[in-house]
Amino acid sequence: MDKLGKLPSGIIETILCLLPIQEAARTSILSKEWRYHWTKIPKLVFIEEDAFEVSTHGDELSVLEQTFDRPSERKMMTNKCKLFYAIYQVLLVHEGPINEFTLCMEVDGSCVEIDHIIHHLSKKKTVKILKLDFNGSYRLPLSLFSLHQLTELYLNGCVLDHQPSSIGFGSLTTLNMQEIWTYDKTLLRLLSSCTLLKRLTINSDGGTIDEIGDLTMADLFECLRGIEYLTIWCFIFLVIISA
């Protein structure tokens, strides 16, 4: 235990980032030195399929459950509620910057809980890599466009239909969008804001990109002058290419 306590903070951080968040939280019992290390890890990954167990006995509470004081309520929680509860607890006690955040779950339409999470991340102003992987069609909130520090953005199963007054993705170098629902003008405006974009992947197979304007490939490449890697797979552009 003495050797564990004397590990450099960088090595401890690397170890904790490789663990599922619940396992990382459990390292708090290793020693006094390790008690709060897990609350400072800069990479957070939450996947609905992962087992976010919620104990039903007061003496079995995990670090993520210590403020949930009614066993009957813990027992009745759905898996999705357990996931959101775990996320809220982690964000509540987390110290320091969050550089990378991943959320993978099933959702359909708007979800106020996810909206709140994204809003919280936008207030942190530290997230550089954001991965939202949804089995469904989650309507992205306006607060997403306040994540000005993003360098990598991965979206799967998302609806992008907002027209914000400003889109601050000036630091974005990688954009990957799978199964998206959006409009051609909205997409073009988004790409126009990504002045440093180097890698772009668009796949609307399973989603749609509706035409409300006269978008051409020339318009697309006009805002992708610095692009180095480009993959596009969607019906609208296949039609334009063949025209």
The model's pLDDT over 16-47, given as tens digits with 9 standing for 90+, comes to: 888 888 888 888 777 777 778 888 899 999 98
Least confident of 59-63, 96-100, 225-229: 59-63
DSSP string, 127-192: --EEEEEEEEEEE--GGGGG-TT-SEEEEEEEEE----S----TT--EEEEES-EEEHHHHHHHHH
Quote the pLDDT of residue 59. 45
The CA distance from 104 to 92, in Å, is 20
Quote the pLDDT of residue 241. 35
The model's pLDDT over 70-123, given as tens digits with 9 standing for 90+, comes to: 444 455 457 788 889 889 989 998 998 999 999 999 888 889 999 999 999 999
